[in-house]
Structure 1
C-alpha cells in the first residue's frame, strides 16, 4: 500500500483523503526546493532595486521618507496588476508567483524600513511626521493595490470588477 504524501503547492487537496503523511526530506526538497530558489533569486533582485532607489533618492534623517513611501506604493500597485494578470488573464508557471510576487516584490517593498523610519522619526522628536507617515503609507499601499487590480481588470482582462 502506497503511503499518502503531502500535496505540493499547486496540487489540489482531496478533503476525503485524510491527513497526509509527513513528507520525507527528499520529497519536500524536490517540491519546495525550486520555490525556495526562485524566491531567493527574486528577493535579491527586488532588494537590489529598492537599495538602488535609496541611493538615487536618499532621505535626510528627520525628513519625510518619500523614497520608502514611493517604493512601497509602486510595489503595491505592481502586485495588484500582477495578481490579476496571473490569476484572471493567463495561466502562469507554478514558479512565476513565488519568483515575482513573493521574491521580487517582497524584496522591493520594504515595510521593515517603514517601521525603522517611524522609529527614527520618533526618536528625533518628529512624532507628528512619524504619525502622518504611518497613516499615509497604509492608505497609499492599500489604494495602490486596489487601483492596480481595478485598472488591470478594466484594461487587460476586459471586465468590470464586481
Structure 2
C-alpha cells in the first residue's frame, strides 16, 4: 500500500476517512478557500467531478485559512458556500493547514513528492495535486491553473 493510502483525514462534519477508501481512483487534492479570487474554480472542479466521477475521478477539497485568512468560517459556513454558491458534491474535509509544522499529513506527503516553485511549500489557495490510481502523486498544479486546463492530465491518469 502506498504512503498516500495509509493517511486519513476528517470530513467537514467530523467523519474520519482513510485515503485507502479512494484506492483505484484518480484523486485530485485541492486546498480551497471560500473568500479567494480563485474560489470560482469550485464550479470548474465540480464540472470535472461530474464529468469523470463514473470513470474513477474523485476530488478532495481541503479548506485552508493560511493564505490571507480567506477561509475564516466554520464547517457549516464552508459547506454552505460550497453547496449554495457552487453546487459542490465532491468530498470536503475539515479546515487544515498546508504549510508549517502543523501541515496536514496529506499535504506534507504531496509537497514532498511534488515540490513546487517554493520547494516544499504551497504558494496559495487552490494548489492542486493529482494522484494516480495506484496512490502515487503524479502532478502538481499552480493556483492559477484552472480546472479546465487540468483536464488532459486527468484524462491521461484515468486511462492509465
TM-score, with structure 1 as normaliser: 0.23
Q: TM-score, normalised by structure 2?
A: 0.23
**Greater helix share, structure number:** 1
Larger Rg: 1
Higher strand share: 2
